[in-house]
Amino acid sequence: LAFGFQPWRARVIARRQTGSRMRVSEAFEKIRPAPVDSINAMRLSLEAQGRKVLNFGQAIPDLSPPPAALEALRARMEDRSAHVYTADQGLPELREELARSLQARFGGRACGAGRIIVTAGANHAFLITCMTLLEPGDQVGLLSPYFLNHDMIVRACGATPVELALPGEGNEITCKEVDRLIDRHRLRMVVMVNPSNPSGKVLSGQEIANIHRACRQRGAVLVADEVYRMFVAAPQAFHSAARLAEDDPSDNIIVIGSFSKEFGMSGWRVGWLQCPSRLLEQLMKAQDLSIICAPHAAQELALLSMRAAPDHALSKKEEYQSRRMLVLERLQRSGLFQINTGEGAFFIWFRPLKDVDSETVCLDLMARSGVCIMPGAFFGRPWRSWFRLSYGNARIEDLAAGTEGMVGYFGAESQRAEVRPTR
Closest by Cα among 192, 187, 178 to 225: 192
Per rule CB under 6 A, is residue 389 in the interface with ligand PLP?
no
Pairing mode of beta strands 271-274, 54-55: unpaired
Q: Does 147 bind ligand PLP (CB under 6 A)?
A: yes
By CB under 6 A, tell whether 271 contacts ligand PLP: yes
Secondary structure class of 363 (helix, strand, coil): helix
Query: Which CA distances in Å does 206 have to 143, 214, 240?
Result: 16, 12, 11
189/176 Cα distance (integer angstroms): 17
Query: Residues 9-48 vs ligand PLP: string with x where CB under 6 A?
Result: ----------------------------------------
Q: Does 336 bind ligand PLP (CB under 6 A)?
A: no
Task: Report the distance separating Cα 193 and Cα 202, nearest Å.
Answer: 9
Q: Does 360 help bind ligand PLP (rule: CB under 6 A)?
A: no
Please pick, from the candidates 197, 287, 358, 385, the single residue that binds ligand PLP as defined by CB under 6 A: 197
For the CB of residue 259, give the shortest distance to ligand PLP in the complex, in Å: 7
Q: Closest separation between CB of residue 195 and ligand PLP, Å?
A: 9
| Shortest distance (Å) from residue 265 CB to ligand PLP | 8
The CA angle 290-313-328, to the nearest 5 degrees, is 110
Judged by CB under 6 A, the stretch of 1-9, 120-128, 153-161, 327-335 that binds ligand PLP is 120-128
Whether the upstream peptide bond of residue 67 has omega within 30° of 0, thus cis, is: no
Bridge partners, residue 232, by sequence: 344
| Cβ contact 370:46 at 8 Å | yes
Q: Is the peptide bond before 375 cis (omega within 30 degrees of 0)?
A: no
Using CB under 6 A as the binding rule, whether residue 403 contacts ligand PLP is answered as no
Which member of 199, 252, 258, 385 binds ligand PLP (CB under 6 A)? 258
Residue 393 three-state SS: coil
* Least Cβ distance, residue 297 to ligand PLP (angstroms): 16
Q: Which stretch binds ligand PLP (CB under 6 A): 116-124, 235-243, 326-334, 392-400?
A: 116-124
CA distance 276 to 267: 29
Residue 123 sits in the site that holds ligand PLP (CB under 6 A): yes
Identity of the residue, 187 or 294, whose beta carbon is nearer to ligand PLP in the bound complex: 294
**Among the candidate windows 73-81, 118-126, 160-168, 290-298, which touches ligand PLP by CB under 6 A?**
118-126
d(CA 379, CA 200): 13
Is residue 390 near ligand PLP by the rule CB under 6 A?
Answer: no
Q: How many CA atoms lie within 13 A of 137 on its CB side?
A: 0
Can you give the binding site for ligand PLP, defined by CB under 6 A? Answer: 59, 121-123, 147, 193, 197, 225, 227, 258, 260, 266, 271
